[in-house]
């Protein structure tokens, strides 16, 4: 898909594909500053219950998420901003941390966001297409 907009903060690259698919390429450590800028970007894009986004994160070059950024995300993210999230290329320890973060956000918000873990970009894209089809077929 074509990239509509792109942002770079630190070593992180964020791209908007389609009107509702946000791709993040995480390189190295995702700092608290990076996380704050990402949350600001969600606000800029108007993410919310009326305009939820798909979030797809490439973690194949990620060094992980330290405690301060995790706490910031847990406190400032809302599951209502997302249709679903998909992480790919994550190491096992990163998957565990992200599963815990998703669980905390889901528990504290009272809303559930679906999270998927894939091994590759191709699998993430296939899951995204499948999720879109399921959403389109679901009764309203």
| pLDDT one-digit tens code per residue, 96-124 | 887 887 787 768 777 788 889 999 999 99
The tens digit of pLDDT for each residue in 48-78 reads 999 999 999 999 998 877 889 888 987 888 8
Measured distance CA(21)–CA(4) in Å, rounded? 10
Chain centroid offset of residue 132 CA? 16
User: Do residues 74 and 101 lie in contact, with contact meaning Cβ atoms separated by under 8 Å?
Assistant: yes
Q: What is the pLDDT of residue 21?
A: 94
The rounded percent of the chain whose pLDDT value lies above 70 is: 98
Q: Which of 83, 84, 31, 27 is nearest to 59 (CA)?
A: 27
């Amino acid at each position: 898909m074509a990239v509509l907009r792109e942002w770079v903060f630190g070593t992180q690259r964020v791209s908007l594909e389609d009107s509702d698919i946000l791709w993040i390429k995480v390189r190295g450590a995702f700092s608290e500053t990076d996380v704050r800028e990402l949350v600001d970007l969600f606000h800029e894009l108007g993410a919310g219950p009326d305009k939820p986004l798909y979030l797809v994160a490439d973690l194949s070059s990620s060094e992980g998420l330290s405690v301060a950024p995790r706490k910031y995300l847990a406190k400032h993210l809302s599951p209502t901003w997302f249709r679903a999230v998909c992480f790919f290329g994550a190491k096992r320890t990163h998957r565990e941390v992200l599963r815990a973060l998703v669980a905390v956000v889901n528990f504290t918000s009272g809303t559930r966001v679906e999270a998927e873990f894939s091994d590759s970009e191709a699998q993430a894209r296939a899951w995204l297409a499948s999720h879109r089809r399921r959403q389109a077929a679901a009764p309203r």
